[in-house]
Amino acid sequence: MIIGIIGAMNEEIQPFLKLFDTHEKIEFGKNVYYRISYNNTEIYLAYSKIGKVHAAITASSMILQFKCEKIIFSGVAGGLQGLKVGDLLLATKLCQHDVDISAFGHPLGFIPESQVFIESDSSLNAIAKEVAKDSGIHLYEGVVASGDQFIHSIEKKQWILKHFNAIAVEMEGASVAVACDCLGVPFCILRSISDSADGEADVSFDEFLESSAKISAQFVKKMIDKIIK
């Protein structure tokens, strides 16, 4: 089996490089991928860079170039609906909150020949729930909204809640969902909350980025152990 793990930032994949300390660096498409051999399984790890375009390129490269059969995104997000720093969440569905062709009568987030929401893989999600149960962790579930904006205002936060009923906001997950959905590869999006997407988001994000990324990485490592068991 070949598994791909993506983070958006270097800080989000550094915990994995410590968990899997033996790896080979491969350069492709102006990015670096880390090939890891683990219990008769190949793992490809990369940070995509921030934003939907880079995340989609990285997910597509993992599938088309490195033949990954499952994709897991691990990283941090801004919490909505009362989520706190360090909380773990599982994206059951993902949407793009910054897509707007409503001038043509379409709902916000809709792209013709696609849909507003893309569902993540139920089998991988079930494994995530098993890990949470085994670890005594409360795993939140719900819609995650992605867009090429760092959300740090209460007004924008409320707008996303109103239109998409999301529990978290970030900048990559939905584009990974689109790439995996188009290419027929199951995916799972795990996020650990680093801020509350409000007026203090920039401060708390910097403070809790590394600790939140570590929480998510440790969780994903346990998922991989179950996947290849």
> Which residue ranges form the domains of the chain, and what is each CATH number?
2-228 (3.40.50.1580)
Which residues sit opposite 83 in a β-bridge?
none
pLDDT per residue as tens digits for the range 123-164: 999 999 999 999 999 999 999 999 999 888 888 989 999 999
For residue 196, the model assigns a pLDDT of 62
85's tokens: 């720093």
Q: Which of 12, 87, 121, 198 is catalytic?
A: 12
**What's the predicted TM-score (pTM) here?**
0.90
Q: Which of 121, 181, 195, 198 is catalytic?
A: 195
3's tokens: 């598994």
Q: Is 87 a catalytic residue?
A: no
* Rounded CA separation 169/95 (Å): 10
34: pLDDT strictly greater than 70: yes
pLDDT per residue as tens digits for the range 58-82: 999 999 999 999 999 988 888 888 8
178: pLDDT strictly greater than 90: yes
Q: Is 21 a catalytic residue?
A: no
